[in-house]
A and B are shown apart, each in its own frame.
Chain A
Amino acid sequence: GDSVTQMEGPVTLSEEAFLTINCTYTATGYPSLFWYVQYPGEGLQLLLKATKADDKGSNKGFEATYRKETTSFHLEKGSVQVSDSAVYFCALGGSYIPTFGRGTSLIVHP
């Protein structure tokens, strides 16, 4: 069945550091790929998405490219801020039910 694997956290960075959170998937067909973010004390919300191979999703300085050849959708940001501290979930939306990774906690220190 479909599955999503993302790097375990927590990831701890200093402000303005470069961020990568790895996400790989297995799926049949042509799923959409998502990154959701959960800020402390808040619900999950969509950060970005890509619906087909080679698409790049971007939002709030975050980017992720849908790589079909490597079945990956890594999340990147060039310069993180303290306010980016949150839990990030990679998700796969196939023709069936959505599948989420276990989440990666990001902690950004001033």
Chain B
Amino acid sequence: GAGVSQSPSNKVTEKGKDVELRCDPISGHTALYWYRQSLGQGLEFLIYFQGNSAPDKSGLPSDRFSAERTGGSVSTLTIQRTQQEDSAVYLCASSLNRIGQETQYFGPGTRLLVL
């Protein structure tokens, strides 16, 4: 069956531009997560959704970052006025339900480079 997909796979942008990253979770998975992976670093948790709701947005690095999920399925992570330090791989994962306790299925990631 289809796994988690993310688009684009690579994105190069200029500093100050806005970017939008998309995640398609596994069908039927109610929980969705966004992470950031920088070179040589671990996974930095950004935000999670249970259904369409994001109960805690405190993991987002700044107010330039926002995320939404519609129809309990597709999610978009938007970064406004990108900065060079935003360069990283952005990973999306989904799980069947129940935040935290269940296996997460990861997408291949979007590699973002801000020039």
Known: A97-B48, A101-B42. A43 touches B100 (CB 8 A): no
Q: Which residue of A lies closest to B109 (CB)?
A: A43
- Given known contacts A31-B100, A32-B101, A93-B100, is B45 in contact with A98 (CB within 8 Å)? yes
A30 to chain B, nearest CB (A): 9
B43's closest neighbor in chain A, by CB?
A100
A89 and B100 within 8 A (CB): no
Inter-chain contact A93/B41, CB cutoff 8 Å? no
Contact status A46-B103, CB under 8 Å: yes
User: Number of contacts between A and B (CB, 8 Å)?
Assistant: 59
In the assembled complex, B104 has its CB within 8 A of some CB on chain A: yes
A: residues with CB less than 8 A from B are 31-32, 34, 36, 42-46, 49, 51, 89, 93-103
A44 to chain B, nearest CB (A): 4
Cα–Cα distance between A93 and B105 once the two chains are bound (Å): 14
Q: A93-B100, A98-B99, A102-B42 are in contact. List 19 more A-B contacts (CB 8 A).
A: A34-B103, A36-B104, A42-B108, A43-B108, A44-B91, A44-B104, A46-B103, A46-B105, A49-B103, A89-B43, A93-B101, A93-B102, A94-B100, A95-B101, A97-B45, A97-B48, A97-B59, A98-B45, A100-B43
User: Are A45 and B106 in contact, with the CB atoms below 8 A?
Assistant: yes
Instruction: Report whether B100 and A32 are in contact in the complex, using a CB–CB cutoff of 8 Å.
Output: yes
Q: B65 near A: Cβ within 8 Å?
A: no
Which residues from chain A contact B103 at a C-beta distance below 8 Å? Answer: 34, 46, 49
A89-B43, A99-B45 as given contacts; A43 in contact with B91, CB under 8 Å: yes
Residues of A within 8 A of B56 (CB): 97
Complex contacts, A103 vs chain B, CB 8 Å:
42-43
B25 at interface by CB-CB < 8 Å: no
